[in-house]
Structures are given as structure tokens and as C-alpha cells.
């Protein structure tokens, strides 16, 4: 951080401390809510979601060759292959916008192109099969279908737009990749690495498997045994580490994991505190911004209503699946169908904590463009869907 930025940050903190009206009950409630949300995040997401994700990111950085990343996700990779894989990754990784960040950071720092990387970044939390099914069951089949189609299309379109907006940098990255030395010969076979990464991904999936709000057959059955499944794949991972990896490689993997943790985790915690202060926990009117204002402003299908829904969704933190009951309440209070879809497309894929981390990974300019693309496209999709429903 530059000295000027440090000075500005200190001035902002001083002004907030000097002027914040701590005697006002709304401010007191918002401050308490920030720590409630932080506690909720720590209890429900850190151990079951973030820790496995950090280890996956560390493994990508250590064991996935840069040549492999460039082949499938680099700026010069086959577009159909790279965007197809990136855009449907969320159907496998049922994670929230914060949990996908370490994995995104891992593939991006290994040389993935900005297009496939941001397609993965959007699709990871947006294309959640269980969330889409619950959306269809609770909020209506049409809204569920619109969410599923919109999420896949958004992932591809946002990725392609990011690629073309930053085409000059992508070409420079592609040219630099041509001069990389050939990868060293590996003593492990591809199938061994496949099982190694698959075990970690399955640990993440089953450890983070949430209880469905309503019984939905398969998902409820898996929830009943999800800890046994996670434990089985953890045991399998430990066996593979013992048989296939030496101590030095394991220590290098742990060091890489710790590097991602130091970079991302403090920013996430700060972002969750800020989100709790401004918006409160999902479903509770305890943030500094009263929920009644949001409900009143997102009725109908105007440009303003859809834009506000997209912005609120983009900045608010949604744990996996919590967006469905929240929208159920907002729709009951007069929210329009268009703004509801806009929030569904912008909300799970972004949050204030994730924005802070994304900026640390790919810089301010790319982050702002990515956020604007998500908000603008969500707004337009909401207006189109609202017009069809009207």
C-alpha cells in the first residue's frame, strides 16, 4: 500500500470514529449486526468451505504446471473448451462468492486468461444446482429457469467481454507464454493428480453441503450422510499424500496454501464486517440501511428498480441458498419479478467481501469492469424478464 493510501485510510477511520453517532439505536444495531454476521460466517463457512478451498488453491499453484493452465485456460487457449469448462463449473462446486475466490486466485496467478478466469469466478457461486432447484420450487418455475439460463449465459458473456476489453494485455500474456521453459518431467501420472484434486473437490462439496430448506429427495439424502462422505474422501486424500508425495512437496503445498490464506482471509473478514454493518444478516432488518427502503424501491419493473436490485445484490453477502428465502419475503412485500431475477443473477456471484479480494488478485481496473458488467447485465436481464412477465 502506498504512503498516500495509508494516510487517506487513517483519515477515513479517524473521521468515522469522530462523527459516528454511537448513541443512535440503528447504529448500535448495525455494529452488533456486523459481528453477528462475522460469527455466522466463521461458524458456517470458514472450516467447511474456505479451508478446503485454500488447500485446492495451494495445490493448483504447486502441482498444476503453468503450461497446463495456459493450454486450457490461457489467453490463447481454445475458446470453446475453456469457456465451456469455466461456465458450468458451478454445477460441481456449490460454493458462495467468497469460497470460490482462493480457487480463482490459484488459476489466475498460474496464467489463466482473464476471460476464462472471470467466467469461472462468476459461474462458481451462480450456477448452484440446489439453489436453482429451490428457486424453481419456492419462487416459481419461470424464475428458476430464467436464473439457470441467465447464469450460464452471463458466465460466458462476461468472460468474453473481459477478454476483449483487456485484449492488449491478453495478447502480451499470450506472447510471454511462448517463451516459457518446457515443464519438467513429472514422476506422477495424470490419473494420480486427477484423483488427488478430485478428492479435495469432493471434500469441499460434501463438507459444505447445506441442509435443503425443503425436502428435495437426493439433496436431503446426501445431507444426512455428508459428513461421512467428506470424512471418507479426507481419509483417501491422506492415503494418497502418504503414498505419492514426499515431505518436501507437502510442505511446499502447505506454504502455498498459507500464502493464499494470508492474502485473502483478512480481506474477507473485513468485507463481511462491512456487509453486516450496511445490510445486516439476510432476512433481518438490522443493518444501517433499513430493509423497508429496499422493498419500496424495487417494486415494478423500472430501470431504477432493476438497477437498485442489482447493486444491492452485488454488495450484499449471501451465504449459499439464503437468497431464496430472502427473495420470497421481498416478493411478498411487493418486489417485482424483474428486480428479483436481477438480484438472483448479481447477488450470489458478488459481495462486498469478494470485491475486496478480487481487487487484490487482479487489480482495481479489472475488478471495477467486472463488477459493472455483472450489475449492468443483471439489470438488463431483469428488465427483459419483467417485461415478459408483465
Q: What is the pLDDT of residues 185-227, one digit of tens each?
A: 667 787 888 899 889 888 888 887 877 766 667 778 888 899 9
d(CA 105, CA 82): 17
What confidence tens digit (pLDDT) does each residue in 312-343 have? 888 887 665 667 767 766 776 677 889 989 99
C-alpha cell, 188: 506422477
CB 114 within 8 A of CB 163: yes
Q: Decide if 19 is inside a domain.
A: no
* Contact (Cβ atoms closer than 8 angstroms) between residue 93 and residue 201: yes
Residue 6 lies in a domain: no
Least Cα distance to 108 among 307, 362, 333 occurs for 362
Residue 383 inside a domain? The answer is: no
- 125 assigned to some structural domain: yes
241, pLDDT greater than 60:
yes
List the one residue out of 198, 190, 194 whose CA is nearest residue 232. 198
More confident residue, 240 or 41: 240
Residue 327 covered by a domain? no
Phi, psi of 335 (to 5 degrees): -65, 140
Inform me whether the pLDDT recorded for 90 exceeds 80: no
Q: In this predicted structure, which of 4-18, 39-53, 181-195, 257-271 has the lowest mean pLDDT? A: 181-195
C-alpha to C-alpha distance for 111 and 118, rounded to whole angstroms: 13
Find the DSSP H helices in the chain.
3-19, 25-41, 51-63, 66-73, 79-87, 100-109, 114-126, 129-134, 141-165, 167-177, 190-207, 218-244, 247-279, 291-297, 303-315, 323-332, 337-346, 352-362, 364-389
Share of the chain above pLDDT 90, in %: 15
Q: Domain residues for 133?
A: 24-177+187-289
Whether residue 1 is contained in a domain is answered as no
**Structural domain count, the chain:** 1
The span from the CA of 146 to the CA of 158, in Å, is 17
Give a yes or no: residue 311 inside a domain: no
Report pLDDT for 71. Answer: 65
Alpha-carbon distance 136 to 389, whole Å? 15
d(CA 253, CA 312): 38
8 A C-beta contact, residue 67 and residue 182: yes
Residues 129-153 have a mean pLDDT of 79
In a domain, 356, yes or no: no
When pLDDT is averaged across residues 114-133 and rounded to a whole number, the result is 77
Q: What is the pTM of this model?
A: 0.68
Amino acid at each position: 500500500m502506498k504512503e498516500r493510501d495509508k494516510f487517506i485510510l487513517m483519515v477515513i477511520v479517524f473521521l468515522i470514529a469522530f462523527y459516528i453517532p454511537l448513541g443512535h439505536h440503528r447504529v448500535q444495531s448495525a455494529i452488533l449486526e456486523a459481528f453477528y454476521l462475522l460469527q455466522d460466517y466463521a461458524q458456517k463457512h470458514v472450516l467447511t468451505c474456505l479451508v478446503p478451498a485454500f488447500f485446492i488453491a495451494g495445490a493448483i499453484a504447486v502441482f498444476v504446471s503453468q503450461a497446463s493452465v495456459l493450454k486450457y485456460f490461457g489467453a490463447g487457449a481454445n475458446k470453446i473448451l475453456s469457456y465451456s469448462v469455466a461456465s458450468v463449473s458451478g454445477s460441481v462446486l456449490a460454493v458462495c462468492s467468497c469460497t470460490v475466490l482462493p480457487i480463482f486466485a490459484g488459476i489466475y496467478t498460474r496464467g489463466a486468461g482473464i476471460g476464462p478466469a472471470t467466467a469461472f469466478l462468476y459461474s462458481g457461486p451462480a450456477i448452484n444446482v440446489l439453489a436453482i432447484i429451490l428457486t424453481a420450487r419456492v419462487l416459481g418455475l419461470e424464475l428458476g429457469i430464467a436464473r439457470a439460463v441467465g447464469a450460464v449465459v452471463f458466465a460466458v458473456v462476461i468472460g468474453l467481454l473481459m477478454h476483449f476489453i483487456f485484449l492488449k494485455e491478453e495478447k502480451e500474456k499470450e506472447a510471454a507464454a511462448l517463451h516459457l521453459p518446457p515443464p519438467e518431467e513429472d514422476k506422477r501420472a495424470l490419473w494420480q493428480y486427477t484423483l488427488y484434486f478430485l478428492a479435495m473437490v469432493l471434500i469441499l462439496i460434501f463438507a459444505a453441503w447445506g441442509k435443503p430448506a425443503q425436502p428435495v429427495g437426493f439433496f436431503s439424502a446426501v445431507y444426512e450422510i455428508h459428513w461421512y462422505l467428506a470424512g471418507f474422501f479426507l481419509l483417501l486424500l491422506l492415503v494418497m499424500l502418504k503414498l505419492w508425495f514426499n515431505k518436501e512437496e507437502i510442505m511446499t503445498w502447505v506454504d502455498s496454501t498459507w500464502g493464499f490464506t494470508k492474502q485473502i482471509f483478512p480481506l474477507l473478514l473485513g468485507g463481511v464486517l462491512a456487509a453486516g454493518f450496511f445490510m445486516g444478516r439476510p432476512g433481518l432488518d438490522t443493518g444501517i440501511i433499513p430493509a423497508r427502503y429496499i422493498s419500496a424501491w424495487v417494486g415494478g419493473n423500472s430501470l431504477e428498480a432493476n438497477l437498485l436490485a442489482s447493486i444491492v445484490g452485488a454488495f450484499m453477502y449471501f451465504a449459499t441458498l439464503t437468497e431464496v428465502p430472502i427473495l420470497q419475503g421481498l416478493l411478498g412485500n411487493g418486489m417485482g419479478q424483474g428486480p428479483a431475477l436481477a438480484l438472483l443473477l448479481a447477488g450470489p456471484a458478488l459481495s462486498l467481501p469478494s470485491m475486496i479480494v478480487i481487487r487484490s488478485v487482479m487489480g482495481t481496473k479489472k475488478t471495477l469492469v467486472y463488477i459493472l458488467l455483472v450489475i449492468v447485465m443483471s439489470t438488463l436481464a431483469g428488465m427483459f424478464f419483467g417485461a415478459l412477465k408483465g
